[in-house]
Amino acid sequence: MINLTINGKAVQAPEGSTILEAARSAGIYIPTLCYDEAVEVYGACGLCVVEAEGIPKLLRSCSAKVSEGMVVNTESERVVQSRKIAMELLMSAHDGDCVAPCQLNCPARTDCQGYVGLIANGEYDAALKLIKNKIALPASIGRVCPHPCEKACRRQNVEEPINIAQLKAFAADMDLKSDSYIPEKQEPSGKKVAVIGGGPAGLTAAYYLTIMGHSVTVYDMMDKMGGMLRYGIPQYRLPKEVLDKEIAIIEKTGVKFVNNVKLGVDFTVKSLKEENDAVIVAVGAWKSSSMRTKGEELDGVYGGIDFLRAVIQGNAPEIGEKVAICGGGNTAMDACRTAVRLGAKEVYVVYRRTRNEMPADKLEIDEAEEEGVIYKFLTNPLSFNGENGKVKSVTLQVMELGEPDASGRRRPVPVEGKTEEIDVDSVILAIGQKLVTDDVTELELNDRGNIVADNDFFTTNIDGVFAIGDATNRGASIAIEAIGEADRCAKAVDAYLNGKALDTRVPYISKRDESTIDYSDREKESRINPKVLPADVRNKNFDEVSLGFTEEEAKKEANRCLECGCREYYKCKLLNVAQRYDIEPERFKGEMPQKYTHDENAFIERNTSKCILCGLCVRSCREVMNLSSIGLMGRGFKTDVSPAFSLPLDQTNCNNCGLCVQLCPTGSLTEKFNLEKQVPLDEKYTEEFVDIDGKKSSVLVSRYNGKILRVIPNDEISRNSGLSRAELQAKLK
């Protein structure tokens, strides 16, 4: 035995061992992407380097042998810098998406691709559980979210993006029709948390903290929980019966609700902190923003959210027959469509830019127009004119578009001397909302009048008090933004309660070069939108406009997904190493030599754009299977892995053993297996059976010289058993 020291630890290893083998036997991690015990040492990736005292150059631990008295450092500054450069070089030529763009663009980081794929396969329960990892109110959010995920969906480069939001609502509705999913909770922690505000942010934080084992009470000033989802979203978009069911599920997890109590009146932040281990302030933004336009004080001029709340509470104001709504966002759409339903004959939307610049959801804009709303584009209120203290007309300044502003949209500028006037009975200002600052005098506010909260930890100026949602930092935003903050805040509060550090470092992920993606082979399929009530029916009542997806429609729409994110994301060795180091691959950015290789085999899918030339597939095919079905083709930077003469794998001596797939560290080689399209049985596969909980279950088995090479779950029992393929293999007789 050889005695050596690795990272200050005394280690013994058999003579002839490599440093890598010695380190692994001692439980010391050294990264490598090209090493496997089944094949000869290759040393391609350069990641396993270590530093040894007395030796000037770094050693590749996969090949360097141990010697008596050797002192090795596997994480010295020099070693780390070398690995970083090696990783940057590897990643600079790795053109793959770790995560789908839709998920990256979702403020809550919901696994859109995952649940869309599950819906495509009819696995609605699994889809719902995946959604609820991030969203506690999916049926409600699926109906009202402006779906930033869809704005990043690559399917729009073929024709139209996937209808992700409606698919979320579909899966959640299926759950509400059955025994609704209640997650398993962790053991009670003995810690108490108070949440001020029962809107989407407060409810989300309460839900996840309760699942983590903490005792959570939500305090809210209104009669019922829901916040702006209840009091700011009209019934025709979000039926309150749906919201009630989802809130009831949150309550079933153990969250306690206390309504009709107000911050600053019935309690203070500090008084709650004295009774609890932590407090989360999620009071929202309940004050309508002012336009600071002459005549705003007149009777008949209402704030957008004040108007919507009054209607929802059954106290709709008398708005008359002619109504002007100022603004171009979703609140403006809610206000104008509500005004139509209250019986207004002429409803105008006054917006200072054009239709193309409107921030409201396009579907909302179109449906409002179908219901009779009249758009006054490129106009801006100059004054609200009254008689006897009541608004009677609006003078509009005619605008034109100038140069782009900070948002990237062209700035509206007045056309000098050009105005017009419209008669109105009422005006609704839907240009934004803000925090009622009198409610939070104990907390530090910024120059916008919002609570100052740390962007990563959500902490405030009071220890143990956190703040999230519309009341903080930048102010009011969309509900899914508040939900994303609430999820991250729950983790921060849990870490605080447990006295642990929270890692807020953003992990590295690979993204494809959009300019290299070819969509020409994709068959165009029209986007499916749920059927809606006819315009001349829906504009007379508050019934839900959307009729939702049928199962057939949902599965068909979900099957349009391009599956951009890597299927190997959770077990990718390349990503695992990349995330250990602070890498900047763009330093070495150049021409991407690889091109995506389309399906070439019934069992194995090759994507050479993800290949890092580790050689494991080539060597395992040659050294283990004695086949040489694939090899390294070309020279230099343009080398790639390919069958001889670039033949399809089906035309080589490949026996589909799957060993190359098993060893591939990047997802460049993956197994094709679609639950809808079973792997075909042929002479290379036999159907065999295993016993799972006393039930006979089918698996497909590939054998080579009597040795089991691969096991594929073949029926519902084996697919959903939770057993790995190795465990299924162990059950085979």
Same domain, residue pair 558 and 631: no
**pTM confidence score:** 0.87
Same domain, residue pair 166 and 264: yes
Kindly report the backbone phi and psi dihedral angles of residue 571, in degrees, each rounded to the nearest multiple of 5, phi listed first: -130, 15
Same domain, residue pair 245 and 335: no
Q: What is the token pair recorded at 85?
A: 């450069």
Among the ranges given (72-81, 152-161, 491-500, 604-613), the one the predictor scored with the smallest mean pLDDT:
604-613
Residue 84 lies in a domain: no
| Cα–Cα distance, 623 to 10 (Å, whole number) | 35
What pLDDT is attached to residue 287?
94
Q: Give tens-digit pLDDT for 270-314.
A: 999 999 999 999 999 999 999 999 999 999 999 999 999 999 999
User: At 64, which CATH number?
Assistant: 3.10.20.740
Which residue, 565, 580, 609, sits at the end of a domain? 565
Same domain, residue pair 372 and 518: no
What pLDDT is attached to residue 637?
74
Please determine, for residue 683, whether its predicted confidence score (pLDDT) is greater than 90: no
What pLDDT is attached to residue 593?
60
Same domain, residue pair 136 and 278: yes
Please determine, for residue 331, whether its predicted confidence score (pLDDT) is greater than 80: yes
The mean predicted confidence, pLDDT, of the chain is 91
Please determine, for residue 682, whether its predicted confidence score (pLDDT) is greater than 50: no
Give the N- to C-terminal CA distance of the chain in Å, as an integer: 40
Q: Give tens-digit pLDDT for 227-240.
A: 999 999 999 999 99
3-state helix, strand, coil in the chain (%, to 5): 30, 20, 45
The confidence band for 599, taking pLDDT boundaries of 50, 70 and 90, is: low
Instruction: State the amino acid at position 218 in one-letter form.
Output: V
Of 217, 247, 205, the closest CA to residue 230 belongs to 247
Residue 220 lies in a domain: yes
Q: What is the token pair recorded at 149?
A: 């995920």
Residue 114 lies in a domain: yes
For residue 193, give every residue at least 6 positions away whose Cβ sits within 8 Å of its Cβ, in sequence order, or none: 206, 209, 214, 215, 216, 217, 276, 277, 278, 279, 280, 493, 497
> What is the count of structural domains for the chain?
5
Kindly report the backbone phi and psi dihedral angles of residue 242, in degrees, each rounded to the nearest multiple of 5, phi listed first: -65, -45
Domain span holding position 326: 287-427
Same domain, residue pair 304 and 270: no
Please determine, for residue 680, whether its predicted confidence score (pLDDT) is greater than 80: no
User: At 318, which CATH number?
Assistant: 3.50.50.60
Same domain, residue pair 139 and 54: no
Q: Give tens-digit pLDDT for 468-496.
A: 999 999 999 999 999 999 999 999 999 99
Same domain, residue pair 174 and 225: yes
Of 164, 144, 126, the closest CA to residue 562 belongs to 164
The number of C-alpha atoms within 13 Å of 277 and in the hemisphere containing its C-beta is 16
Q: Give tens-digit pLDDT for 357-374.
A: 999 999 999 999 999 999
Same domain, residue pair 277 and 297: no
Integer Rg of the chain from CA:
30
Same domain, residue pair 412 and 445: no
Characterize the bridge pairing of strands 256-258 and 215-219: parallel
Q: Give tens-digit pLDDT for 511-545.
A: 988 888 889 889 999 999 999 999 999 999 999 99
The confidence band for 661, taking pLDDT boundaries of 50, 70 and 90, is: confident
Residue 297 lies in a domain: yes
Same domain, residue pair 324 and 452: no
Kindly report the backbone phi and psi dihedral angles of residue 342, in degrees, each rounded to the nearest multiple of 5, phi listed first: -85, -5
The confidence band for 673, taking pLDDT boundaries of 50, 70 and 90, is: low
Of 687, 691, 679, 617, the closest CA to residue 654 belongs to 617
